[in-house]
Amino acid sequence: MKFRLSPEDLWVGRWTRALRHTRAPGLRHGIGHDCAVLASPPPGSDLVFKTDAVVEGVHFLRSTSAPLVGRKALARALSDLAAAGAKPLAALVTAGCPDKKTAVRLQSVYRGFARAARHWRVAIVGGETVRTRQLLLSVSLLGTVPRRQSPHRGGARPGHLLFVTGTLGGSWPHRHLTFTPRLREGQWLARKKIPSAMMDLSDGLGADLPRLARMSGIGFQLHPQKLPLAPGATIRQAVTRGEDYELLFTVPPGQAARLRKTWPFSTRLTEIGVCLTGRSGFQTGGLHLQGYDHLR
């Protein structure tokens, strides 16, 4: 009796064909197995885990280029690894597919995944498929960072200076699909032990800076006139629009001159404010602090 693959197995095989040649250091078992199995990380490393999702109608449109959808899904998770100063290792992808038309589109989405994975040297080693009401992609990412060198959101102190990479406010309609996660910059900052706290800007400075401040138990003074605006962006958009995927980090005053002198990247680096005591509150120069909120 001849065995026939189920429709799900046929589609998954088509989607993942572009991923078959991706490899991770120490990968024992990858796509096609119940679990991906990898060797233990090198001695002296900490593991970094991240999960992120993009949903049609929220993070991209039905008309968005399918390869760019795949690219964005992976790049969003990589941006969080950048904020942890981590090196990406391997990823799992869960695809939510509502119908056959979307299944055909997913072949191009996975080609975008594959190109992005090769560019940033990430192995996509497995995943899952589910039926959903709209196209959904969830990426779980594994990375490594030298032991005890990963910055977090809770280390900022009064007097520390606020910095951002790149420009803010110009994410839509195109850059949110083509941005470059600041992996090299984040790894360099962590290796040099410069940031006292660090995170990526995904929901907008107006939402993410207060999160860092609350985690560190501080206030801050923001200098709106110093915000590095993307071409055509307003100060309000730089604070509220979201999806900039730049790094926001704090630096002790004694480290700031060293940072500016040794910064090895063409990526723009801007001081935008200073941390204050918690009782000083959030001083914004009249700007309303609001970013993207999935539950609003």
Q: What is the mean pLDDT of each run of 10 residues along the chain (296 residues)?
A: 74 78 75 87 94 96 97 98 97 96 96 96 94 97 96 98 97 96 98 98 96 98 97 95 96 97 98 98 92 74
What Cα–Cα distance (Å) separates residue 109 from each residue in 44, 59, 250, 280, 282? 36, 14, 36, 47, 41
**Segments of the chain assigned to CATH 3.90.650.10:** 161-283
Element containing residue 106 per DSSP (H, E): helix 100-120
* Structural contact between residues 150 and 81, judged by C-beta atoms closer than 8 angstroms: no
The pTM (predicted TM-score) of the whole model is: 0.92
Q: In this structure, which topology does domain 7-146 adopt according to CATH? A: 60s Ribosomal Protein L30; Chain: A; (3.30.1330)
Q: Give dist(CA 161, CA 174) in Å, integer.
A: 31
CATH class, domain 161-283, is alpha beta
Q: Give dist(CA 289, CA 268) in Å, integer.
A: 23
If you write DSSP's letter for every residue of 3-21 in order, what string do you get? Answer: ----HHHHHHHHHHGGGTT
**Segments of the chain assigned to CATH 3.30.1330.10:** 7-146
Enter the tokens of residue 197. Answer: 């706290």
pLDDT at 20: 67
The structure tokens 């940033």 sit at 120
